[in-house]
């Protein structure tokens, strides 16, 4: 690729940075209003980011604003690099004493809606930084939904071609379409956040906590304003509200738009949504029964703990109300295996995503039939549409690439001396953008701050890799990508 | 299926049992010759097994000796059930004090050439039982190669259709072909065992040890006549010989036949063989460098330990010369990830098998190119043959089904209270027929005897499931299988 080819990419990234700069003014205003000096950090960062964004925009204006296929891949990956660095700056400069590696980790975690944190002492932190972390989750959440609706189907990433519509057929219309979608998705996202914050507030949270947690919940991000996460409130009502809205964030957001337009039954007719709830219910019930049988716990208490933490992990939110790693070997295994699952595609959730499991299941079921009747013709289907062999291969490649990347990341982490459970679980959670892993250090009761810097860089990278669905990134490493 | 349909299955199983009965006479003779009373156990077992086998043969003789597709699936699965139970009996009755669950575990482990053991005190055990365990490995090894050459390609299990030849096209010719192949494979296997035993003997093993270890080595089984496995000899020469012959057992045995017929270069032109050796070399080198850098170990000593144990695991043999689980977190991760890999198809090795990794790699490489040129036509190839989308889907389904089964088995094991590393690694090693897992209990320095009986049953089942390549077994659980 020649330099000219990068110009439209820089242009769009410039626009993104200007948006980030505008959002930075919010924590500045909040800190200013409570008289916290930290407002200067956000104001200066906003100025700097705005300046760089504006320069990128102005110097590259006039280059055509449509992106080719290769430019779209490039844009998707670089947009994370630009925004992560930009959003890390105010955290690095803030009085929270974060090293640059820490700030990059926290920013990656926020923007990918992972929710792993290296920060402690949240309960006494200035409101600006707490709001900023929630805003990272929110921007990341909206961003990923737009990506999943407007860009990934066009790039045909791991079976996402299934979600192509006629209007997404050409790259020409990609940017206008993405802009339109961003408006719609932001409106839906905002409405959900308001509803969630209202419920949290009614249930007893402070207004500020309610807003911050609502953003982190709908974004399935998981940043809390308290070190103890939702354990801080110890309120079944708040937990229940959170469960409802974590699920809401794990469903395809565009469905709400269609419901709003007059088809409320739609959401339950979508097979991906149905399977999501079936998995949540089965795992919650199994774990609750196991808990009540093996621990001194009533079935109701067991259900409370299992439902919140199961939904939190499968929706890739990552809030915690209990150290489920300490429940026993069975729960460690269950939660480890839940880590990569993820929510529905088109939602803010990460992970492998439910529709890929459905396609794998349908394909395998048909293959088993085919074994018995080698000459029979069986066509697997997803939501009524036939699954072609090529789509099935694409989806299954994604699974295997996920597994392979997971292993490589875990191996590198183990080189940093992390034990088996810590390496394996933090690799899986980072790629699936969950938040907590398992074990004493990275588990729901731990914190990532004690990891070596190298491991933090690896995990930051893994979070972004998982968020752009691997292929988007790996394609940049094929020789064909750079050939003219 | 009607009862009539089972008759040819019982017939062939009857023949298998008669062969097992004949083989039982060998340990009987050995025990008798050294004056050990244990010979009676083997003689009586041989009599009983021969009687049951003979009855099955005689009562079902006359029913057509060709098997339909469904009957072949049924036969493959039941043959393991019949032979495992039959070969477990003399161990249960022997003076080694094995419970029935223990005997079934040891028999499954032997016949699937896994090599996990619940026995201790091997060094002072009567020779009959030691020979019997080696013979289990040998019978299992020959059996699996015949299965992979004559039966699985016809059943189209997880991409095995790639290895179909014209003569394997109809089920009609399956049994005569299998019989012929069994003769050829037994001859090749026998020749390799003799060569291996000769080398072991020259290098200092006793004649008896040499024969037993040679059978376990070529079968990539892993049963030793000493509690300390190959650590007992502490001899670089013996270890080197073992490495060579473990590799020999991991290559497609039929290649030796072709080499013998005049094409010695063939073995290195086979891409599966090349990739196998590349993986072995890369992992051995990485681990040796890491060992010499982090431990007080010369590079040569590090190479000695890493080569033996890496080849032992990847060939799914399972001999051990060191407790690699105690080397550190990196080696635990490396060995865990090596567990499912396995050798070449058509060999005695278990695991996922190299050719499936090749097909996954080629498919993914082509998919990455396709992402950039959606309208381009790229055909992935294996050994020169095109990989169809349907073949790719079949292979990748196998991977995912393996992963899924692995998780279910690990979950069940964790319910028995096994810790994370033990559950995960023993599930993986059982499905891949490796032998040792990781951790204090099931690791290379441990022993499976202390596991609860339930876990032993689950693992016995997993070993057989892995050996028949999952699909063969799972197809029995589809409603279509039982429909007339």
pLDDT in tens, A184-229: 999 999 999 999 999 999 999 999 999 999 999 999 999 999 999 9
Q: At what angle do helices B453-467 and B100-111 cross, to 10 degrees?
A: 20
| Contact between A475 and B373 using a beta-carbon 8 Å cutoff | no
Phi, psi of B315 (to 5 degrees): -80, 0
Q: How confident is the model at residue A267 (pLDDT cuts 50, 70, 90)?
A: confident
Look up residue B116 and give its DSSP letter: -
Whether A334 has its CB under 8 Å from any CB of chain B: the answer is: yes
- Terminal CA-CA length for chain B: 6
pLDDT tens for each residue of A91-130: 999 988 899 999 999 999 999 999 999 999 999 999 999 9
Distance from CA of A279 to the nearest CA of B (A): 15
Complex confidence, ipTM? 0.92
Total residue length of chain A:
484
Chain B contacts of A157, Cβ < 8 Å?
A: 371
Whether B341 has its CB under 8 Å from any CB of chain A: the answer is: no
Look up residue B147 and give its DSSP letter: I
Integer-rounded Cα Rg, in Å, for chain B is 22
Whether A124 has its CB under 8 Å from any CB of chain B: the answer is: no
Alpha helix segments (H runs only) across B224-379: 236-250, 254-260, 266-269, 271-294, 299-314, 329-338, 354-372
Distance from CA of B407 to the nearest CA of A (A): 7
Question: Using CA atoms, how far apart are residues B209 and B484, in angstroms rounded to an integer?
Answer: 52
Among residues 46-75 of chain A, which lie with CB inside 8 Å of chain B?
A: 69-70, 73
Distance from CA of B314 to the nearest CA of A (A): 16
User: Nearest Cβ partner of B333 from A364, A369, A420?
Assistant: A420
| Contact between A393 and B388 using a beta-carbon 8 Å cutoff | no
Average pLDDT on B368-379 reads 86
Q: Are B266 and B258 in contact (CB under 8 A)?
A: yes
Q: Is pLDDT above 70 for A258?
A: yes
pLDDT tens for each residue of B445-454: 889 999 999 9
Residue in the block written with tokens 């990234």: A13
Chain B contacts of A334, Cβ < 8 Å?
A: 411
Whether A458 has its CB under 8 Å from any CB of chain B: the answer is: no
Whether B85 has its CB under 8 Å from any CB of chain A: the answer is: no
Instruction: For residue A55, give every residue at least 6 positions away whose Cβ sits within 8 Å of its Cβ, in sequence order, or none.
Output: A14
Distance from CA of A113 to the nearest CA of B (A): 26
Question: Pick the residue with more confidence: A326 or A24?
Answer: A24
Q: How far is CA A31 from CA A131, A137, B85, in A?
A: 10, 19, 74
Question: Using CA atoms, how far apart are residues A133 and A280, in angstroms rounded to an integer?
Answer: 28
Among residues 347-386 of chain B, which lie with CB inside 8 Å of chain A?
A: 360, 363-364, 367-374
Chain A contacts of B389, Cβ < 8 Å?
A: 388-390, 392-393
Average pLDDT on B435-463 reads 94
User: Nearest Cβ partner of A420 from B332, B363, B388?
Assistant: B332
User: Nearest Cβ partner of B400 from A329, A399, A438?
Assistant: A399
Q: Are A108 and A429 in contact (CB under 8 A)?
A: no
Q: Are B140 and B112 in contact (CB under 8 A)?
A: yes
H or E element: which one contains A313? helix A299-314
| Contact between B480 and A400 using a beta-carbon 8 Å cutoff | no
Look up residue A449 and give its DSSP letter: G
Res A347: pLDDT? 94
Res A177: pLDDT? 78
Whether A336 has its CB under 8 Å from any CB of chain B: the answer is: yes
| Contact between B411 and A333 using a beta-carbon 8 Å cutoff | yes
Helix (H, G, I), strand (E, B) or coil at A469: coil
Q: Is pLDDT above 60 for A468?
A: yes
Phi, psi of A293 (to 5 degrees): -80, -35
DSSP per residue over A328-370, as a string? -HHHHHHHHHHTTT---TTSS--SS-HHHHHHHHHHHHHHHHH
Phi, psi of B66 (to 5 degrees): -105, 145
Question: Using CA atoms, how far apart are residues B275 and A23, in angstroms rounded to an integer?
Answer: 52
Which residue, A106, A134, A107, A128, is CA-closest to A119? A106
Distance from CA of B453 to the nearest CA of A (A): 18
Instruction: For residue A375, give every residue at least 6 positions away whose Cβ sits within 8 Å of its Cβ, in sequence order, or none.
Output: none
Distance from CA of B425 to the nearest CA of A (A): 11
Distance from CA of A152 to the nearest CA of B (A): 11
Q: What is the pTM of this model?
A: 0.94
Instruction: For residue B468, give every residue at least 6 positions away whose Cβ sits within 8 Å of its Cβ, in sequence order, or none.
Output: B76, B77, B80, B147
Q: Are strands A385-386 and A381-382 parallel, antiparallel or unpaired?
A: antiparallel
Searching chain A, which residue's CA lies closest to the CA of residue B402?
A400
pLDDT tens for each residue of A412-425: 999 999 999 999 99
């Amino acid at each position: 690729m020649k330099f000219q080819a990068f110009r439209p990419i820089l242009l769009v990234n410039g626009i993104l940075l200007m948006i980030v700069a505008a959002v930075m003014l919010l924590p500045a205003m909040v800190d200013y209003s409570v008289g916290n000096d930290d407002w200067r950090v956000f104001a200066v960062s906003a100025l700097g980011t705005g300046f760089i964004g504006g320069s990128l925009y102005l110097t590259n204006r006039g280059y055509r604003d449509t992106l080719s296929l290769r430019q779209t891949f490039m844009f998707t990956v670089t947009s994370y690099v630009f925004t992560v660095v930009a959003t890390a700056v105010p955290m690095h400069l803030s009085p929270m004493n974060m090293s640059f590696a820490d700030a990059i980790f926290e920013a990656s975690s926020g923007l990918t809606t992972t929710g792993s944190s290296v920060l402690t002492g949240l309960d006494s932190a200035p409101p600006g930084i707490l709001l900023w972390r929630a805003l990272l989750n929110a921007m990341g959440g909206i961003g990923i939904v737009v990506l999943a609706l407007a860009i990934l189907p066009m790039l045909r990433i791991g079976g996402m071609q299934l979600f192509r519509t006629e209007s997404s057929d050409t790259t020409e219309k990609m940017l206008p379409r993405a802009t339109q979608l961003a408006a719609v998705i932001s409106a839906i996202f905002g409405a959900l956040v308001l509803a969630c914050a209202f419920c949290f507030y009614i249930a007893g949270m402070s207004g500020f906590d309610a807003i911050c947690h609502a953003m982190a919940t709908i974004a399935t991000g998981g940043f809390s304003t308290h070190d103890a996460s939702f354990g801080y409130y110890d309120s079944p009502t708040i937990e229940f509200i959170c469960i409802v809205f974590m699920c809401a964030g794990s469903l395809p957001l565009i469905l709400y738009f269609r419901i709003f337009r007059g088809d409320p039954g739609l959401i339950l007719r979508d097979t991906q949504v149905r399977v999501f709830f079936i998995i949540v219910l089965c795992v919650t019930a199994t774990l609750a029964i196991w808990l009540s049988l093996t621990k001194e716990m009533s079935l109701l208490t067991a259900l409370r703990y299992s439902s919140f933490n199961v939904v939190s992990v499968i929706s890739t939110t990552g809030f915690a109300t209990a150290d489920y790693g300490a429940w026993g070997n069975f729960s460690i295994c269950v939660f480890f295996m839940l880590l990569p699952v993820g929510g529905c595609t088109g939602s803010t959730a990460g992970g492998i995503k439910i529709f890929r499991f459905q396609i794998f299941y349908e394909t395998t079921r048909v293959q088993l039939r085919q074994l018995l009747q080698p000459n029979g013709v069986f066509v697997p289907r997803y939501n009524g549409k036939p699954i072609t062999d090529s789509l099935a291969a694409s989806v299954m490649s994604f699974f295997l690439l996920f597994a392979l990347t997971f292993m490589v990341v875990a191996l590198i982490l183990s080189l940093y001396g992390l034990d088996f459970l810590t390496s394996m679980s933090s690799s899986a959670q980072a790629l699936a953008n969950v938040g907590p892993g398992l074990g004493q250090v990275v588990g729901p009761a731990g914190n990532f701050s004690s990891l070596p810097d190298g491991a933090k860089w690896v995990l930051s990278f893994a979070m972004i890799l998982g968020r752009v669905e691997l292929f988007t990134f790996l394609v940049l490493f094929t020789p064909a990508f750079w050939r003219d």
